[in-house]
Structure 1
């Protein structure tokens, strides 16, 4: 049995369905055909796009110019600098490493040279202070400052000696119209001025005499003094029999017979002099000027001196030339063959040359080796007193330091004991156990053999 149902719609339902249908049609039309963009909006978008393209082109051009400038700067730096590594800023301990390097301790300077080096240090300090304040540096200011610092006289001759040793340190001039603030020196008079020779900065900044530059200049001055003494030392070595030739770069101490304090003083260089305002045109004017300066008493003394000098010159011409004297052989060497004497002298010269070229580390090692023979005897007594074949290093160092004739700290005594173990390993050995070191002594070995071996090692080190 089939039952059919039929739904009836009222007028209100039909009207609602029609309104919904119209609303759906309107939405579909709006999606299919969107509303057109106004013309003004399109023009604005095109203008913005053109400006963006223009800005990007400018940015690309500036980037290309910057890259070209960097390449140009790198090429210029490559021409001026030998290697690209110099452009990297090194640490301070590498940049100022040369300031810590000194001449060998054996190359001592004469007393006059040491005083001159101290005068240069004081003068450079005064000049640096005035130069950094942009003041005109006169000799009067420098003289007053140096004499206050050193409590010694400082004259133009000392400044001339400084110029001889280090010619490129200062620039000397004669200038006038410099304010003196003194009643003794007129403003219109010429004064000797000093200016330090300092390289200009790369970026055009006014140069400054800094502490680093002062130390570098002092080191150069001291090195120049050493070079002058080396020249006199070289002349002295050439006068020996047989002559000794030592390379200057390997020289660490002077010859034992070279008297350092008898080195001649440094000759002063000429400093600028003020121009002569009074000009003498004829010889008669020169004579008149000289006679005006000399009193009658001085003129008489000069005449007597000239007569005595002429008489001495005549007597010297009359004497025959003296024959060169040959150095006689001492009486103690009579009967000794000349070849043996020459071999002994050559061996002595070779030994002195080895002493003069010995480095400070080797000298310190030899000084330590000279104490080992006596230390070996004391060390054996320490082991015998303790009745043990092995002792801790700390205990042995304390006992040795209190028993030795020279006052050594435990650390220095440990260095000597380690050197002793290095030279005589079959007699004394060092054993590291955990965090401590122990010494083991071979009591069965003959002590005389140990001392003989140490003396033999000492001779080998001295002849090296």
Structure 2
């Protein structure tokens, strides 16, 4: 049990956060990045509220407000990460004599970290406020900067593959299948202004005297003994890590022509590159086409049971929704039916009569022929999106 816990230090809901996101495949952010984006939104909201009331936002006040909004700890390291992602958002200073307006133990004469929002240079004196539209704009900028950081890690991952991949960032629509999004390193914190030292030591003897006055004799003896124990323990020599050669051929592929392996790898690289730059609308169309074969059988059954040459679109979609194995709305089913009529127009046609749309089915055409045409058309569109021929 101890071994398993040591291997999985990060909870599963964080390591596999990207897999649990709803909606179509997209450039989702790692869990830690999404949490940081939410912290920036809360911090910007608290800073804007104080700034618009002409109060000086301090880290102590911001920390309490963010923790109340998120129910999560908010420390200076998070502020340093936010500064690294979006350095143009705030101005940080260490100031004294800042009114706290609270009953905390913070002295008014002590230094405090103040946060001032950085406004664009084109504002006038009567626009010294952080409006809702400006907050939304800053939030989008922060998200874009986070996405750029993940894209850089993704670019490094693609360059480490064999053979390496190169995908333009402006055409990237999804991550590589083997790219572990939630394993991306957290954002590195930037440096924040530190309070100047209040007491200066002139000599080393003064420093030692000050340190000795802060600890008890028993604690001093414990520290000395601990230091001696560490010196007696031999240090393990550093073992150089040698990365396995990526060009090694697995045992199962020994005897296969190297030329054939290179062609297969090149084709796989081309498929992955096309998948990462594919338009989400094209992805949705291919997903719809994969369902048309089953929907065509259901549609033909509806016409056979009704025994009518034409049926209203709304009635047919409602019957097909009840018969389909997965949950689907009537509007989504209508999109599939219209796509079916587009691909096999000589089998299914749509006729508009006043405000209604009617479906007409060519019963003389065999259903097996319709299935073959749908399968062939789906394969053609998939290959055209991959940019590959039918064979190696």
Q: What TM-score, normalized to structure 1? A: 0.72
- 2:105 is the alignment partner of 1:184: yes
Alignment partner, residue 423 of structure 1: 343
CA deviation after TM superposition for structure 1 residue 306, in Å: 4.5
CA deviation after TM superposition for structure 1 residue 206, in Å: 4.7
Q: Secondary structure at the match of 2:235?
A: helix
Match of 1:405 among 287, 311, 325: 325
Q: How many residues align?
A: 355
Structure possessing the higher relative contact order (Cα contacts under 8 Å, 6 or more residues apart):
2
Match of 2:165 among 225, 230, 244: 244
Alignment partner, residue 299 of structure 1: 224
Structure number with the higher helix fraction is 1
Alignment partner, residue 189 of structure 2: 268
Match of 1:336 among 231, 247, 256: 256
The 5-angstrom pairing of residues 29-108 of structure 1 reads: 106-108=26-28
For the structure 1 residues 289 and 137, does the alpha-carbon distance in structure 2 shift closer, same or farther, using more than 3 Å as the test?
A: same
Q: Secondary structure at the match of 2:126?
A: coil
Alignment partner, residue 345 of structure 1: 265
Residues in 1 aligned to 2:314 and 2:244: alpha-carbon distance in whole angstroms: 66
CA deviation after TM superposition for structure 1 residue 200, in Å: 5.3
Alignment partner, residue 78 of structure 2: 158
Alignment partner, residue 52 of structure 1: none
CA deviation after TM superposition for structure 1 residue 192, in Å: 0.6
- 2:361 is the alignment partner of 1:437: no
Residues in 2 aligned to 1:461 and 1:405: alpha-carbon distance in whole angstroms: 25
CA deviation after TM superposition for structure 1 residue 415, in Å: 1.0
Residues in 1 aligned to 2:303 and 2:98: alpha-carbon distance in whole angstroms: 81
For the structure 1 residues 347 and 174, does the alpha-carbon distance in structure 2 shift closer, same or farther, using more than 3 Å as the test?
A: same
CA deviation after TM superposition for structure 1 residue 409, in Å: 2.4
Deviations 1:338-370 (A, max 9, x none): 111121111111111111111221122122112
Query: Which deviates more, 360-369 or 263-272?
Result: 360-369
Unpaired stretches in structure 2, ≥5 consecutive residues: 1-23, 386-392
Q: Secondary structure at the match of 1:186?
A: coil
Alignment partner, residue 51 of structure 2: 131
For the structure 1 residues 460 and 280, does the alpha-carbon distance in structure 2 shift closer, same or farther, using more than 3 Å as the test?
A: farther
CA deviation after TM superposition for structure 1 residue 132, in Å: 0.2
Q: What TM-score, normalized to structure 2? A: 0.84
Residues in 1 aligned to 2:355 and 2:107: alpha-carbon distance in whole angstroms: 78
Computed over aligned residues only, the root mean square deviation of the Cα atoms, in angstroms, reads 2.2
Deviations 1:275-300 (A, max 9, x none): 01222334444455556667332233
CA deviation after TM superposition for structure 1 residue 451, in Å: 1.4
Residues in 2 aligned to 1:141 and 1:229: alpha-carbon distance in whole angstroms: 31
